[in-house]
């Protein structure tokens, strides 16, 4: 019942773009029927198959057991922590709404190979010993067969040395776009987090086949970390399971924003390749320490995310030891960011929040997930533009700083990338006075600031020009939205109201 609703949702979303999705030929659906007749089944359960069904049955890799590598169900299994993390990731996919049932899968690299979800076992019932170890010769170990999509995981680990974790899912908007054989173009700066100018769509091939794996690798090329799979879903990799899951969710967020923009009836403005190249350079340095930024090119160094000057004053910076100054304000900033996620108006670390405190303001730090952020990691900045402490402020610190400098009544700022605000902003549209609630933002319209590169003074200047003397909320072209209020609760309320409008 749930899978039927998921398919209906994907189909409706695909049609909302204005053209019908590509429908697979009957002959291909017949292959699917044969595959699903064998899905998650043991050999003893597969009697009386026809020659056609036997030809197209889901094929497992060879089995090869080495003592100490396979899960046995008795006692502690090898790579237990990695196996538990794989299960945790799959459960998080469901909680995020980017997957359902056993239709997606996850894996992570371990010494000698990788561990991947098993075939046909529901994730809420999966035990660590049921997560399958596969070696890099293409053999699986233990009593449980790996996911029917094991080839894509295997080939990524063989071909991409930096891939440490892989996530595959069938999220609604990625699947809708993939069913129209569309890629996600550079309509938003966040497209660059996937490593290339677009998030490509791999050519169609039957699931579980070498042809699909080959098509995926061709789409990823040398730089992309995420790809759609035609009439199927999406897949991505990362340096660990948390970051791979974050990228899977971000890919779906971008797909949702892009579909929503196109559903208005005209295509969004796509940023030029030269601007996306700037984004790629910026994201290469995002959330990184200087020691992690060796071997940058001149272009990457020129466009690296720039932090403000650091200036420590005793008693102002968070140290991690004991109670930090402005602790309650810092906790409130974290709470606000978590509420943004719970409301669905932001995801990951792509938005940020701040509030005014004596002598300056406290703002989220760069690259630290909000569910793991501590109060001492929320950064104090003074009104001379310096940050204090060991953690750098959000890459969008300039917008917060300039609002506090220019708008005396601003006591809190919230910036996010919500779906509908971003869709409108990618078409450079404002929100006109079509509803009485538009006026809560202080002006006749909620304006859209002209495009400028994220994290730059140009963007901050564009924002202030759009806000003018009265507006408290604005869209940011090809980016998202930002607003301010008399406290964080009211600023968050206005951010959510702007998205509702």
Which residues are the active-site residues? Answer: 149
45: burial class by Cβ within 10 Å (0-12, 13-18, 19+)?
Answer: exposed
Strand pairing of 113-116 and 132-135?
antiparallel
Q: Tokens 């295509």 map to which residue?
A: 267
Q: Which residues pair with 360 in a beta bridge?
A: 357, 382
Nearest Cα residue to 187 out of 423, 17, 16, 19? 423
Give me Rg for the CA atoms of the chain: 24
Residues 6+ apart with CB under 8 A from 257: 187, 188, 417, 419, 422, 423, 426
CA 398 to chain centre: 24
Q: Tokens 């998921």 map to which residue?
A: 6
What Å distances lie between residue 178 and 24, 39, 212, CA to CA? 12, 23, 14
- 184: helix, strand or coil: strand
Q: Which residues pair with 393 in a beta bridge?
A: 365
Sign of the alpha-carbon dihedral angle for 196, 201, 203, 206: positive
Nearest Cα residue to 199 out of 161, 254, 257? 254
What Å distances lie between residue 354 and 195, 222, 382, 395, 482, CA to CA? 29, 38, 13, 13, 11
What does the block give as tokens for 387?
């940050």
With residue 498 as reference, give the H or E element that holds it: helix 488-500
- Rounded to an integer, what distance in angstroms lies between the CA atom of residue 38 and that of residue 57? 6
- Rounded to an integer, what distance in angstroms lies between the CA atom of residue 459 and that of residue 168? 35
């Amino acid at each position: 019942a749930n899978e039927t609703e998921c398919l209906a949702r994907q189909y409706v979303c695909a049609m909302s773009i204005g053209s019908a999705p590509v429908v697979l030929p009957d002959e291909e659906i017949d292959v699917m029927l044969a595959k699903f007749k064998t899905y998650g089944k043991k050999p003893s359960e597969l009697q009386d198959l026809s020659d056609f069904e036997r030809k197209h049955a889901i094929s497992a890799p060879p089995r090869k057991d080495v003592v100490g590598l396979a899960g046995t169900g008795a006692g502690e299994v090898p790579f237990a922590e990695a196996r538990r993390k794989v299960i945790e990731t799959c459960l998080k996919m469901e909680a995020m709404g980017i997957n359902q049932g056993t239709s997606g899968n996850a894996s992570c690299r371990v010494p000698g190979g990788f561990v991947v979800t098993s075939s046909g076992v529901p994730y809420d019932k999966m035990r660590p010993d049921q997560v399958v170890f596969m070696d890099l010769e293409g053999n699986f170990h233990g009593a449980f067969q790996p996911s029917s999509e094991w080839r894509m995981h295997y080939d990524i680990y063989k071909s991409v040395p930096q891939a440490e974790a892989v996530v595959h899912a069938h999220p609604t908007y990625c699947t809708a776009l993939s069913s129209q054989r569309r890629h996600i173009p550079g309509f938003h700066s966040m497209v660059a987090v996937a490593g290339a100018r677009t998030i490509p769509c791999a050519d169609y091939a039957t699931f579980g086949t070498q042809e699909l794996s080959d098509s995926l690798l061709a789409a990823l090329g040398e730089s992309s970390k995420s790809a759609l799979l035609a009439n199927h879903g999406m897949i991505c990799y990362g340096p660990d399971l948390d970051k791979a899951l974050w990228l899977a969710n971000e890919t779906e967020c971008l797909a949702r924003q892009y579909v929503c923009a196109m559903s208005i009836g005209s295509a969004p403005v796509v940023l030029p390749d030269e601007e996306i190249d700037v984004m790629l350079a910026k994201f290469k340095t995002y959330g990184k320490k200087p020691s992690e930024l060796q071997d940058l090119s001149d272009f990457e160094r020129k466009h690296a995310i720039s932090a403000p000057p650091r200036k420590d004053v005793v008693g102002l910076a968070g140290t991690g030891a004991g109670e930090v100054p402005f602790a309650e304000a810092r906790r409130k900033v974290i709470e606000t960011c978590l509420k943004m996620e719970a409301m669905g108006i932001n995801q990951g670390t792509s938005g940020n929040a701040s509030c005014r405190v004596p002598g300056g303001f406290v703002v989220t730090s760069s690259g630290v997930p909000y569910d793991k952020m501590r109060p001492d990691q929320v950064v104090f900045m003074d009104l001379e533009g310096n940050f204090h402490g060991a953690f750098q402020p959000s890459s969008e610190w300039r917008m917060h700083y300039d609002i506090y400098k220019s708008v005396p009544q601003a006591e809190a700022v919230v910036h996010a990338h919500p779906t509908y605000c971003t869709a409108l902003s990618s078409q450079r549209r404002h929100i006109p006075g079509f509803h009485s609630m538009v006026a809560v933002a202080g002006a006749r319209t909620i304006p859209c600031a002209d495009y400028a590169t994220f994290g730059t003074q140009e963007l901050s200047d564009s924002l202030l020009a759009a806000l003018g003397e009265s507006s408290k909320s604005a869209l940011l072209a090809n980016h998202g939205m930002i607003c301010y209020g008399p406290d964080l609760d009211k600023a968050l309320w206005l951010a959510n109201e702007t998205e509702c409008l």
